[in-house]
Amino acid sequence: MKNGVPKTDPITQRADEAQASLRRIFVGPLDFNPKRIQVIKLVSEGLQDKEVADKMNLSVKAVKWYLLDIYLQLGFPRRSGGCLNRIFLAMWACREGIV
């Protein structure tokens, strides 16, 4: 505790930063075509990139590009790590009624 404020651990701090980025106001409409929506649904169900690629008949590299584009459009921090991004993507998808 420093100056009456509890010190947060790095993981909590990164989670807070990722959550704060979700609250940003988006400029322009989100461009999620049916393939991106399908990727969001499958990732939110807990599937790994390879499993998503197999289900959608895509390459793993294509799935990674879709995810990167989705994360950028949602304003997720680039350094929050794949696991946190997936968790927040699932939370966002639930909130938006996608899953």
CATH code of 54's domain: 1.10.10.10
Please tell me which residue, 42 or 94, carries the higher pLDDT value: 42
Helix axes 82-96, 34-44, angle to 10 degrees: 110
Please give the residue range of the domain that contains residue 89. 11-18+31-96
The three-class DSSP label of residue 2 is: strand
pLDDT at 44 over 60: yes
pLDDT at 71 over 90: no
Whether 25 maps to a domain, the answer reads no
Q: Euclidean distance between the first and final Cα of the chain, in Å?
A: 40
- Reported as type and span, the H/E element at residue 60 is helix 60-74
Per-residue confidence (pLDDT) for residue 80, from 0 to 100: 61
Please tell me which residue, 15 or 64, carries the higher pLDDT value: 64
The number of folded domains in the chain is 1
